RNA sequence: GGGAAAGUAGCUCAGUCGGUAGAGCACCGCCCUUUUAAGGCGAUGGUCGACGGUUCGAGUCCGUCCUUUCUCACCA
């Protein structure tokens, strides 16, 4: 701490020295006309045969300095990339050169000059004007690079997450990941908008929660003197909008679940939920394929990606497999002909457990998770989950023990969940009531939502509903293995 | 929640058997007008995550705690 204090106070002293030179170390603006990567990409426009030059005005943060007496090379970063500057005493004059010599890595400068290649061919701005735009006082980590190999990378993940502003400056690829995140979300929205879906915003603070099995966060409103919950899903309000006649509706927004955290779970995360009237789960499968395939093509111009060393192809159409058939294929078991005892044994054999009373449908789901999930690397829609897995979905007309539902699996992870939504008000009231009774034994069972049931009683058209975990979609498409690498500011405990 | 690993200078990391705390980069001083992990010479910089314990002596051994990473379980 003492050392850091000295480094900082040295730089604060420099601010005084700069002011004494008659220079404002924190001026108000700078006219930027060019960006680093554009200059490199369009070198010929800036330098015609080393005879005709177009002058540039660039601003950025100093990332490295190589000072050689009366001249120096340095590198600056801007929003588009980085470029080398040639700073020579004879070109900028004594006063500005004196200023340059006391600048630090991390300072932000504006420069004007012309663009040339150095003896070894590096495109470089030969500056004739230097303006200090912001003096840094807190030293940055020094990351070096040669031939694409990075040395002394800012590698401590804890420091990176806690200091994302520094991570964005010094770690290659971080900015790109978050730019890609935005591109994916914009692309998803563009696809949905083109299909006449209406994007809406629904409440985050709720008097009652539902739409999923999860433990909520609570908060308190002073004036109303009441407890409020942070939403765990978007479903209850979006369905009311379907009832209200908004036939195609979606929201991309934060949901909050007060549960464990790991590589694929953050307490707050971003969900896409959409509802389409007069559609069923088949339409939702087609739409899901389209969203993933088009987003992948938008980023990479192709449908194959490498994730975690595995080649994954998102080209449509994807395999569609009933849950029981998946169990037959991967676990060599026919659950329809198994006794309860055989199913219990199969679950225990893989280290699973049955919570509470034995429910056949939940046991089938458990067997699927234990035996099948790990094999589902290429995209596959698993359909026809047992009736007991959710109260919000219609049963299949061919076999009422199973649902018109699918879960999308890619690389053994769940990416989407969709239903032919239940709209039978009598059935809905009954199942939600029964679920609410389980709250004694299952903390995550949702309470009865009377307003929601009344909306369904008003009459909800046949509707297909789809939920996609946006963070996981971004992880897949950017190749990141941890949700914390696709969240700018992942949830962290404060340092003590 | 379980398991494993980590925390030493601003950053990246060494630190052997318990015996005065190390390097590179950054920073500071000096030299240097085509460097690019620039180079050369020199100097500064440490409550070794916190608190206890063992010991003549602890960065090192033991215990508790804090933070993080990875992983298993659960959920998206």
In chain A (496 residues long), the average pLDDT of successive 10-residue segments reads 81 95 96 97 95 96 95 96 96 95 96 96 96 96 88 90 94 94 97 98 92 88 93 95 97 92 91 97 96 97 90 95 93 90 84 75 88 91 91 91 94 92 92 83 81 95 96 94 93 80
CATH number 3.40.190.10 is the correct assignment for the domain at A174-318+378-485: no
- Domain borders along chain A are 2-140, 174-318+378-485
Burial of A270: CB neighbours in 10 Å, binned 0-12, 13-18, 19+: buried
**A152 Cβ contacts chain B strand, under 7 Å:** yes
Do the Cβ atoms of A465 and A247 come closer than 8 Å?
no
**A368 Cβ contacts chain B strand, under 7 Å:** no
Is A2-140's fold the same as A174-318+378-485's?
no
Question: Tokens 């994302």 label which residue?
Answer: A164
The set of strand B positions with any atom below 7 Å of a protein CB reads 1, 9-13, 24-28, 31-39, 44-47, 66-76
Q: Residue A467: which nucleotide is closest by CA–C1'?
A: B76
Strand order in the sheet with A218-221: A205-206, A226-230, A218-221
State which residues between 212 and 251 of chain A bring their CB within 7 Å of strand B. 212-214
Residue A187 has a pLDDT of 98
CATH number 3.20.20.150 is the correct assignment for the domain at A2-140: no
**A254 Cβ contacts chain B strand, under 7 Å:** no
**A270 Cβ contacts chain B strand, under 7 Å:** no
Q: How far is the CA of A144 from the C1' of B69 (A)?
A: 24
Report phi then psi at A485, rounded to 5.
Answer: -90, -5
Residue A1 has a pLDDT of 45
Do the Cβ atoms of A112 and A124 come closer than 8 Å?
no
Report phi then psi at A410, rounded to 5.
Answer: -140, 135
**Alpha helix (H) residue ranges in A42-173:** 43-46, 89-92, 94-102, 157-162, 164-170
Among A330, A307, A290, A43, which residue's Cα sits nearest to residue A190? Answer: A290
Residue A446 has a pLDDT of 82
Distance CA A209, CA A234 (A): 10
Counting Cα atoms < 13 Å in the Cβ hemisphere of A111 gives: 32
Residue A357 has a pLDDT of 75
Residue A188 has a pLDDT of 98
Helix and strand totals (H; E) in chain A: 16, 22
Residue A429 has a pLDDT of 92
């Amino acid at each position: 701490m003492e050392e850091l204090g000295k480094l900082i106070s040295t730089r604060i002293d420099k601010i005084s020295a700069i002011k004494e030179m008659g220079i404002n170390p924190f001026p108000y603006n700078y006219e930027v006309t060019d960006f680093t990567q554009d200059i490199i990409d369009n070198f010929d426009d800036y330098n015609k045969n080393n005879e005709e030059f177009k002058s540039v005005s660039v601003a950025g943060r100093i990332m490295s300095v190589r000072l050689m007496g009366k001249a120096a090379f340095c590198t600056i970063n801007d929003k588009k990339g980085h470029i080398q500057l040639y700073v020579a005493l004879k070109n900028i004059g004594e006063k500005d050169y004196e200023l340059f010599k006391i600048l630090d890595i991390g300072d932000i400068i504006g420069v004007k000059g012309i663009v040339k290649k150095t003896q070894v061919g590096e495109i470089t701005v030969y500056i004739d004007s230097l303006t200090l735009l912001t003096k840094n006082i807190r030293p940055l980590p020094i990351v070096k690079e040669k031939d694409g190999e990075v040395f002394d990378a800012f590698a401590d993940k804890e420091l990176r997450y806690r200091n994302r502003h520094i991570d964005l400056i010094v770690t290659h690829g971080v900015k790109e990941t978050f730019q890609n995140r935005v591109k994916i979300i914009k692309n998803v929205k563009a696809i949905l908008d083109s299909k006449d879906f209406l994007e809406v915003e629904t409440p985050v603070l709720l008097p009652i929660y539902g739409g999923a099995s999860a433990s909520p966060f609570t908060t308190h409103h002073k004036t109303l003197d009441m407890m409020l919950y942070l939403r765990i899903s978007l479903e209850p309000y979006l369905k009311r909008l379907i009832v209200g006649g908004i036939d195609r509706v979606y929201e991309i927004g934060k949901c909050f679940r007060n549960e464990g955290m790991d590589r694929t779970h953050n307490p707050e995360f971003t969900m896409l939920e959409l509802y389409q009237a007069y559609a069923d789960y088949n339409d939702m499968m087609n739409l899901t394929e389209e969203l993933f395939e088009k987003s992948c093509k938008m980023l990479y111009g192709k449908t194959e990606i490498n994730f975690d060393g595995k080649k994954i192809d998102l080209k449509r159409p994807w395999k569609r497999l009933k849950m029981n058939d998946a169990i037959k294929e991967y676990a060599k078991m026919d659950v329809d002909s198994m006794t309860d005892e055989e199913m219990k044994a199969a679950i225990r054999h893989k280290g699973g457990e049955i919570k509470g009373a034995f429910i056949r449908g939940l046991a089938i789901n458990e067997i699927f998770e234990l035996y099948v999930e790990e094999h589902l690397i290429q995209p596959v829609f698993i359909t026809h989950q047992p009736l007991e897995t959710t109260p919000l979905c219609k049963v299949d007309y061919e076999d009422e023990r199973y649902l018109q539902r699918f879960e999308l699996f890619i690389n053994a992870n769940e990416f989407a969940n969709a239903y032919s939504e239940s709209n039978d008000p009598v059935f809905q009231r009954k199942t939600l009531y029964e679920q609410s009774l389980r709250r004694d034994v299952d903390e995550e069972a949702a309470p009865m939502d009377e307003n929601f049931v009344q909306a369904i009683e008003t009459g909800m058209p046949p509707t297909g509903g789809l939920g996609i975990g946006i963070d996981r979609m971004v992880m897949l498409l950017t190749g990141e293995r941890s949700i914390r690498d696709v969240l700018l500011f992942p949830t962290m405990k404060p340092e003590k």
